[in-house]
Structure 1
Amino acid sequence: MMHINGSCHCGEITFEAEIDENKVILCHCLDCQKLSGTAFRSVVISEPNGLTFTKGKTKEYIKIAESGNKRAQGFCQNCGSAIYATSEEPTNRVYGIRAGCIEQRNLLIPKSQIWHNSAVPWLNEVSNIPAFETIPTK
């Protein structure tokens, strides 16, 4: 088990969580692609009721996922940062915490990929795309 902390982009929401660092997942489902605005999302799974907000409160909405399960999506009402997805039940929640909001994200190495049938076809070619340390100048 690992203790993590994080925040939304604007800082109105801060949190702490107990997670299993062996449960870091890349999700390629269409919901994660749309919600993140990119090709996939990196998620770490919390212990049951393992997420605690130290500042602010998320807004939630319920969406039926590709799996057919109802999923509560939690995000910052001010900046829109996605913080988690979880079951709609208010107790014994296991959170899929969005790794981009976690301070220790560089330590969270993905161990598996899910919904890979929805993965964008160019994903395996990313290492061949030119990379720059910052925005390239002319």
Structure 2
Amino acid sequence: MNNPSSPVKLQGGCACGDVRYECTAEPVVSLNCHCSVCQRYTGTAYSSVRIVPAAAFRFVRGELRYHTSTSNAGHAVSRGFCPNCGSQVLGRIAEKPEIALISAGTLDDASLYPPALDLFTSRAQPWVVLDDRLAKFDEGIPAGPPNT
């Protein structure tokens, strides 16, 4: 449960404003996932996410509609979309209920917490220029922060 006295670290929402959220913790890790499932869901080359403790995340307005699929890592991932505008706002991994995956583009200040990792680079589109400053993993991370 959230502690109401904790300062809000992150805020954001969908494109139309029907869904708003806040998080009282800084991200555990920020990453770009190049897996084929993320490419399909985002409609582009990769998904940029900020992983936060689920207990620190809450919706302050609206509800999401979820779709669940199996990720390239074999996890059941539920992705939450605004039922009005279709923005992908949040992801949850069934096997890792302690975390929430915030879609970076939904943050009010998306420049905060730039990504530190590129996952599933073996599946990255050939026209994507990968940032040499980020740690690279051909597939998911063998141990450590969750992969999508």
- Determine what percentage of the aligned residue pairs are the same residue: 28
1:76 aligns with 2:78: no
State the alpha-carbon separation in 2 of the partners of residues 21 and 123 from structure 1: 25
State the alpha-carbon separation in 2 of the partners of residues 125 and 4 from structure 1: 26
State the alpha-carbon separation in 2 of the partners of residues 99 and 10 from structure 1: 16
State the alpha-carbon separation in 2 of the partners of residues 23 and 11 from structure 1: 26
Deviation per CA, 1:69-110: give whole Å up to 9, x if none.
111111101111001111237x94411110000012112211
Match of 1:14 in 2: 20
TM-score, length basis structure 2: 0.76
1:111 aligns with 2:133: no
| Pair 1:98–1:125, CA change in 2 (3 A) | closer
| Pair 1:16–1:120, CA change in 2 (3 A) | same
Which protein is richer in helix relative to its size? 1
* Secondary structure of 1:97's aligned partner: strand
Computing the radius of gyration over CA atoms, which structure comes out larger, 1 or 2? 1
RMSD, aligned CA: 2.3
List gaps (5 residues or longer) in structure 1.
127-138
Report the residue type matching 1:29 in the other structure.
C
Q: How does 1:77-92 map to 2 (within 5 A)?
A: 77-88=83-94, 92=97
Q: How does 1:84-103 map to 2 (within 5 A)?
A: 84-88=90-94, 92-103=97-108
CA shift at 1:9, angstroms?
0.6
Match of 1:38 in 2: 44
Which protein is richer in strand relative to its size? 1
List gaps (5 residues or longer) in structure 2.
1-6, 132-148
- The number of aligned residues is 125
